[in-house]
Amino acid sequence: MNLSPQTKQKIAFTLLGLAAVIVIVPVALILAILIKRGLPAISWQFLTEMPRMGMRAGGIFPAIMGTLCLVFGAIGVALPLGVLTAIYLVEYARKSWWTRMIEIAIVNLAGVPSVVYGLFGLGLFVIFFQFGSSILAGSLTLAIMELPVIITSSKEALMSVPRSFREASLALGVSRWQTIRHVVLPNALPGILTGSILGISRTAGETAPILFTVAAFYLPRLPKSVFDQCMALPYHLYVLSTQVPNVKQALQYGTALVLVGMIFLLNLVAIIIRSRMRSKKQW
Amino acid sequence: MRKFREAIIEKAILLNGFACILFVILIFVFLAKDGLTLFRTITIQDFLFGRIWSPLAEPPQFGILPLFLGSLVVTLGAAVISVPLGIACAIFIGEIAPRWMRETLKAGVELLAAIPSIVIGFIGMTMLGPVVKNLFHLPTGLTALTGSIALAFMAIPTMVSIMEDAITSVPRTYKEGSLALGATHWQTIYRVIIPAASSGIVAAIMLGIGRVIGETMAVMMLTGNASVIPKTILAPVRTMTATIAAEMGETVRGSEHYFSLFAIGLVLFGITFLINFLADMARHRKRQ
């Protein structure tokens, strides 16, 4: 069969379009199912009450609070560390084997499986540092895990600040650190924030790293200190859907919807910051 | 004084750059410390090539071959689904789709990336499992195939975003040159653009596969957790990651079983380290 190039192109483009549809339809389907089945379960009580009857009734308040604690704990550690590393790589480092080593380390940190982070957190924070299964251990584990995301996006944000800004400042006799502190960072901040928020949102949904470092199966109270265990939304969903028999489906879907909703809300904030930054940019 | 302060700050920042390397080393050390302890009582051959994983039997057996093959089957299945879909989707987004459609598709792919693995696992259990079960008349819908399908969709966002970068960063002049010679758009895409973007595409595939191998929660919920050597893709399997996640809670600290899970972690770390290293090399070569 000898088709003309134009016909071949039509066939090829149709197939490619079809592939795009195959990728997108499940996304829409997943969201539709979550909303349709999860929304009826969500009420003020569901969001603000403790779970009751072995999690078969009541709300998910401690899981929501636990996830918030973990997320903010992780970002508190990872943000300064990540931004400073990015500053080093963009502003100070020269091209050398050492810089290349750091880059390879970042790439590999990004690729370490989440459950291996869990093992690492268990070995280092829970046992070696004797933090026990606690919010502290979980947050630190998650912080190391999200470090590569924050470094990568901060690097991009720093690199997008034009060279001429730095040169102008240095030419005025301002020192290097002052230039970074007062010229580069303020201009790169929205980009850094966007990337970090995307990092946070990923953290909120992670289950494997918190399995052995913090997550409590059933703990119907709020944590009192960073050395307490806590419940967390993703682990709660795991428990509800595999470990506890006879849970109403509405509860499971409701939990899943709250988790996804929280992540999308964070993403939305990031997108808003990004678009405002773009409109403000004058170069 | 100012010079002194500058020097201190510079050193502090340099120290930070060191942190990432330190963390990689720490991860390795803490996996190796406990993982290698296993080999005091069990030979490496028995661990790597043993055909039975049954840590609670008497005597316990710690052969990770069934787990390794479980991971392999699920990963290959996911690769077969996600690589063609990912490449096609990236080409469509990067080259063919009109602007509004491109933005919608990109947003859709980003949404997919934002859905956590536990939610994919949950939806897969309730929706995909029954479909697979009825389609192939199986006793259970939780099989390697079910896991592969779900994982394919988790790998696609990673693949598409890197591939799309690679495709759009091919210099315009290549494309214009080809079109000016009378080639159709499609001929230009597969004869000029794809070869020019090939190292980025290869890197994208490897990073996507790296993500699939390391994925834990969704596979644990979807593959049926049977630690036997799989004969077909329609059999329940258990992956290395799922084994760690499922069994760590039941182990006694300092037992053989506990050490064996760290040893699996070490194997996983080695595999993903290699994949990511090679993928980075592929991406790096492109820039030179």
Q: How many angstroms separate the CA atoms of B219 and A61, rounded?
A: 28
Domain assignments of chain B as residue spans, ordered by start: 44-287
CB < 8 Å to B269, chain A: 112-113, 116
Write out chain A residues lying below 8 Å of B14, CB-based: 88, 92
Tell me the pLDDT tens digit for each residue of B175-202. 999 999 999 999 999 899 999 999 889 9
Distance, CA of B165 to CA of B197 (rounded, Å): 9
Res B3: pLDDT: 79
CATH class of A57-280: mainly alpha
pLDDT of residue A85: 92
So what's the pLDDT on residue B72?
Answer: 93
Report the percentage of chain A scoring pLDDT > 90: 37
**Model confidence at A33, in pLDDT bands (50, 70, 90)?**
very high
Residues of B in contact with A247 (CB under 8 A): none
With beta carbons less than 8 A apart as the criterion, state whether B279 and B61 touch.
Answer: no
* Residues B272, B253: Cα–Cα separation, whole Å: 26
B36: tokens are: 């290698």
Is A60 a residue whose pLDDT tops 80? yes
**pLDDT value, residue B288:** 47
SS (H, E, C) chain B: CHHHHHHHHHHHHHHHHHHHHHHHHHHHHHHHHHHHHHHHCCCHHHHHHCCCEECCCCCCEECCHHHHHHHHHHHHHHHHHHHHHHHHHHHHHHHHCCHHHHHHHHHHHHHHHHCCHHHHHHHHHHHHHHHHHHHHCCCCCCCHHHHHHHHHHHHHHHHHHHHHHHHHCCCHHHHHHHHHCCCCHHHHHHHHHHHHCHHHHHHHHHHHHHHHHHCCHHHHHHCECCCCCCCCCCCCECCHHHHHHHHHHHCCCCCHHHHHHHHHHHHHHHHHHHHHHHHHHHHHHHHC
Beta bridge partners of B89: none
Q: Kindly state the helix (H) or strand (E) to which residue A52 belongs, with its residue range.
A: strand A51-52
Top mean pLDDT of A152-156, A271-275, B76-80 is at: B76-80
Residues of B in contact with A208 (CB under 8 A): 216-217, 241, 245
From A5, A119, A259, residue closest to B187, measured CB to CB: A5
Across the range A241-269, mean pLDDT stands at: 87
CA distance A43 to chain B (A): 20
Contact check, Cβ <8 Å, B277/A104: yes
Compute the distance between CA of residue A234 and CA of residue A221 in angstroms, rounded to an integer: 17
- Residues A111-139 have a mean pLDDT of 91
Q: Of the candidates A118, A124, A201, which has its C-beta nearest B114's C-beta?
A: A201
The number of C-beta contacts closer than 8 angstroms across A and B is 255
pLDDT for the residue numbered A54 = 67
pLDDT in tens, B223-270: 888 878 888 888 889 999 999 999 988 888 888 899 999 999 999 999
CATH architecture assigned to B44-287: Orthogonal Bundle (1.10)
Residues of chain B with pLDDT under 70: 1, 286-288
Contacts of residue A283, defined as CB under 8 A and 6 or more positions apart, other chains included, come to A162
Residue located via tokens 């259970």: B140
Q: At residue A35, does pLDDT exceed 90?
A: yes
What is the average per-residue pLDDT within A248-252? 85
pLDDT score for B27? 95
Q: What percent of chain A has a predicted confidence (pLDDT) above 70?
A: 96
Which 47-76 residues of chain A touch chain B by CB within 8 A? none
Q: Return the domain boundaries, chain A.
A: 57-280
Cβ-defined contact of A23 to B153 (cutoff 8 Å): yes
Q: What is the pLDDT of residue B188?
A: 93
Q: Average of pLDDT values for A26-38?
A: 92
